[in-house]
Amino acid sequence: MRPNIIPTDEQFIFHEPWRDQHPWLIQGVTTRRFGANGGPKHVDLRRLQDHLNIHHVPLVYCEQVHGNRVAVVDDLKKFPVGEGQCHEVPEADALVVTMNNVMIQIFTADCLPIFLLDAHLRRGAIAHAGWRGTYGDITTRTIQTMTQLGSNVGDLSCWIGPGIKECCFEVGEDLLAQFKSKFPDCAQTNGGRTVDLAAINVQQACRAGIAPDNIAVAPFCTRCDADEFFSYRADNGKTGRNIAVLLFLDDHVLDA
Ligand SMILES: [Zn+2]
Q: Where are the domains of the chain?
A: 12-163+199-255
- The pTM of the full predicted model, rounded to 2 decimals, is 0.95
pLDDT single digits (tens) 97-143: 999 999 999 999 999 999 999 999 999 999 999 999 999 999 999 99
Summarised one tens digit per residue, pLDDT across range 1-13 is: 344 556 778 899 9
d(Cα 110, Cα 81) in Å, to the nearest integer?
A: 28
184 phi, psi to nearest 5 deg = -60, -30
Q: 42 C-alpha to center of ligand 1: Å? A: 30
pLDDT at 223 over 60: yes
Asked if residues 133 and 127 have their Cβ atoms less than 8 Å apart, the reply is: yes
Ligand 1 centroid from CA 224, angstroms? 4
Q: What value does the CA radius of gyration of the chain take, rounded to a whole number of Å?
A: 17
pLDDT digits 0-9 by tens, 158-202 = 999 999 999 999 999 999 999 999 999 898 876 789 999 999 999
pLDDT band with cut points at 50, 70 and 90 for residue 255: low
The CA-to-CA distance between both ends of the chain, in Å, stands at: 8
- Under the banding of pLDDT at 50, 70 and 90, the label for residue 204 is very high
Distance from Cα 234 to the centre of ligand 1, integer Å: 10
Q: Kindly give the distance from the C-alpha atom of residue 110 to the centroid of ligand 1, in angstroms, as a whole number.
A: 10
Given a contact cutoff of 8 angstroms between Cβ atoms, the answer to whether 186 and 203 are in contact is yes
Looking at residue 22, what is its pLDDT?
95
Q: For residue 173, report the distance from its CA to the centre of ligand 1, in Å.
A: 20
Higher pLDDT, 58 or 188: 58
Please tell me the distance between residue 196's alpha carbon and the centre of ligand 1 in angstroms.
11
pLDDT for 254 equals: 63
Distance CA 249, CA 64 (A): 25
Q: How far is the CA of 221 from the centre of ligand 1 (A)?
A: 5
Ligand 1: distance of its center to the CA of 191 in Å? 14
8 A C-beta contact, residue 223 and residue 233: yes
SS3 29: strand
Q: How far is the CA of 129 from the centre of ligand 1 (A)?
A: 16
The burial class, CB within 10 Å (0-12 / 13-18 / 19+), for 92 is buried
Tell me how far the alpha carbon of residue 162 lies from the centroid of ligand 1, in angstroms.
Answer: 11
* 92 Cα to the center of ligand 1, angstroms: 27
Q: 49 C-alpha vs ligand 1 centroid, how far in Å?
A: 30
Looking at residue 1, its pLDDT comes to: 39
pLDDT tens for 61-79 read 999 999 999 999 999 999 9
Q: Which residues contact 142 (CB under 8 A, 6 or more apart)?
A: 70, 94, 96, 114, 116, 125, 127
User: With respect to CATH, is domain 12-163+199-255 assigned 1.10.3210.10?
Assistant: no
205-211 long-range contacts, CB within 8 A, separation 24+: 205/114, 205/139, 205/143, 205/158, 207/140, 208/139, 208/140, 208/143, 208/144, 208/153, 209/143, 209/153, 209/154, 209/156, 210/143, 210/153, 210/156, 210/157, 210/158, 211/154
- pLDDT of 80-89, one tens digit each? 898 888 999 9
